[in-house]
Structure 1
Amino acid sequence: MSTVPMAGLRLRFFADPGEFLAAADDYLGADPVVCTVVTTVAHRLLSQRAEGISQPDRNWWLVVTDDSGAVVGAAMRSAPYAPYPPFLLPMPDHAAVALAHALHDREEEILAVNGALPAVEVCAAELTRLRGGRVQVAQHTRLHELGELAWPPPAPGGLVVATEDDLALVTQWFTAFVGDADEQAGRPRGSSAHEVPDHTDMLRRLHAGRLWFWVDETGQPVHLTGANPPSFGVARVGPVYTPPAQRGRGWASNAVAEVSRRIQAEGARACLFTDQANPTSNKIYAALGYRPVVDMANLAIVP
């Protein structure tokens, strides 16, 4: 752990996600839906450490405290894809500015910043003031939480758990999901940075039983929905992918509804992200009972 004091704040950087979780426990638990990305990633990487899987030296976890010792913000840098953007949870503006200065002093190359608004905008703007360049919006996202589930019109078929035998198809659809999500939002394919799990991580997800197909009345897979294991009592749904030839038939609505029901049945809260540039998915999830919680953004820092 390294500590950076700055204008009434302490920024504590951790290399160990377990130490981070212990230091930020009360803060993360107070708003577990907003913190879902950070907590699920921290718990996943903590499990991998226990399995002997090392993490890149660039990874860090951050807790920001004020003069009283109260946690006022948190962040992480653990993205496995270039340019390895930090992810910020909500924090006061002056904390976001202090983080930008700390990253500048640590001589970290920051070419993108993701996370909650307005903290991510404040941090990115300060980084460009310190180093030059300009901020460009790559994607606006919105986090939603399910209230009372509203069932869609029923579709033929049902939900089945994907298994290791489905590895090739699941990988193919994960990859297609990334490109199609950009296309549906009016962006060039591949313009957004999304993680496609590697072979080992995909097997881990399949073994955990958190990936499901919706199969039609003939038993053929026509849709894929996933969900993270609960973290701090919250499970995040995603990805949600229907191949183009199967769209418009209610597969996605029924699959997400059933996965969401199962999450709530296990005593967890269900949440998911939408791309604000994709009105179709936003409409589907709103109809199921998902309500906005916080807006986030993926920002690029360009010359």
Structure 2
Amino acid sequence: MRPDDWHLIHDVDTFLARAGDFLRSRPAPHTIPLTVTETLRTRGPHTYGAEDPVFGILESAGEVRATFFRTPPQRLNLTPLTPDESEALARRLAALGHTVPGVGADRDTAAAFATAWQRHTGAAPKLRERQRLYRLGTLAAPEPRPEGRARVAGPQDHEQLVRWHREFDGAIGATLSTSDGSWADARIADGRVTFWETPDGTPVSMAGVTPMVAGQVRVSPVYTPAPLRGRGYAGAATAEVSRAALAAGAAEVLLFADLANPTSNALYRRIGYRPVTDFAVYDL
């Protein structure tokens, strides 16, 4: 395979015109490119940063076989690739002088690209996180159910969302790409964050969802402040947004869990989520 078999594109509409059917053909493993490109399409190319995004398409006999995207300063995101395809992409990006601070993909693809990137640039990869993608089967209410109720976050919750988003990003070591205020504004406008609140009306946990694309919705983020964990609040909030996504017509409800956190993985399984595949994130 030749490096120039990879075609680079900077316009999201052009990318989706060529690769949209491919991404929609497997909505679960392609959940991240589907949701990120939908956000870029609806909210503009600089939603995630000041630099233009870059997309890539690998075609064979007129059919798309794989894609990538990167929204600087974020890491590279890949659909599943063979080792040869990873090698060709690493050679292509290195030859063009692209900066790749990290890569995220299914476990085997991420490892293959990280190895190829080191071979072409000398940058030693470091495993940052192992994740598991889950798909909702039959939703089960969490037991025991904590006292309180679910409530969709509204404009009055803006400062709460800003604070919790900042804390969530800090907890996972995320690279900030949009302001906390913009993040909160967008989700309030679309009704995409649900609080679990105690009987006195105090929010104690939140769960968000991505827009529905290709029939799939992904639950993200799920956050409970550290002093309030272990009381069932996150499970209740996650179950509620999952129920609402199904009621809104989602064919698949997905979420990622950090494999280093056995508590969250066990929680998601208890409320009906089943493993799809494992992913990995490398710093390069």
TM-score scaled to structure 1, two decimals?
0.87
- Summarize the Cα distance change of 1:54–1:167 in structure 2 as closer, same or farther, 3 Å threshold: closer
Ranges in structure 2 where 5+ consecutive residues have no aligned partner: none
Letter matched to residue 249 of structure 2: G
Q: Is the 8 A contact 2:48 2:71 kept in 1?
A: no
Partner of 2:218: 236
- Summarize the Cα distance change of 1:8–1:200 in structure 2 as closer, same or farther, 3 Å threshold: closer
Q: Is the 8 A contact 2:3 2:88 kept in 1?
A: no
Partner of 2:37: 42
The answer to whether 1:21 aligns with 2:19 is no
Letter matched to residue 178 of structure 1: D
The CA deviation string for residues 167-214 of structure 1, in whole angstroms up to 9 with x for no partner, is 111111112223334xxxxxxxx4x54656432232111111001111
Letter matched to residue 180 of structure 1: A
Q: Is the 8 A contact 2:3 2:91 kept in 1?
A: no
Would you say how many aligned residue pairs link Structure 1 and Structure 2? 282
- Summarize the Cα distance change of 1:72–1:256 in structure 2 as closer, same or farther, 3 Å threshold: same
Partner of 1:69: 62
CA distance in 2, matches of 1:205, 1:64: 33
Partner of 1:12: 7
1:59 to 30, 53, 58: 53
Ranges in structure 1 where 5+ consecutive residues have no aligned partner: 1-5, 182-189
2:108 to 118, 125, 135: 118
Partner of 2:131: 141
Partner of 2:154: 163
Q: Percent identity, aligned pairs only?
A: 32
2:99 alignment partner, SS class: coil
TM-score scaled to structure 2, two decimals?
0.92
Letter matched to residue 204 of structure 2: V
Report how far residue 100 of structure 1 moved: 0.3
Report how far residue 58 of structure 1 moved: 4.4
2:5 alignment partner, SS class: strand
CA distance in 2, matches of 1:222, 1:201: 19
CA distance in 2, matches of 1:232, 1:291: 20
Partner of 2:79: 89
Moved more, 23-32 or 110-119: 110-119
Partner of 1:185: none
1:274 to 253, 257, 273: 257
Q: Is the 8 A contact 1:9 1:95 kept in 2?
A: no
CA distance in 2, matches of 1:240, 1:259: 10
- Summarize the Cα distance change of 1:112–1:180 in structure 2 as closer, same or farther, 3 Å threshold: closer
- Summarize the Cα distance change of 1:271–1:160 in structure 2 as closer, same or farther, 3 Å threshold: same
CA distance in 1, matches of 2:91, 2:27: 27
Letter matched to residue 214 of structure 1: W
Report how far residue 23 of structure 1 moved: 0.8
Partner of 1:187: none
Report how far residue 112 of structure 1 moved: 1.4
CA distance in 2, matches of 1:54, 1:278: 27
Q: Is the 8 A contact 1:142 1:295 kept in 2?
A: yes
Report how far residue 156 of structure 1 moved: 1.4
Moved more, 153-162 or 226-235: 153-162
CA distance in 1, matches of 2:121, 2:108: 20
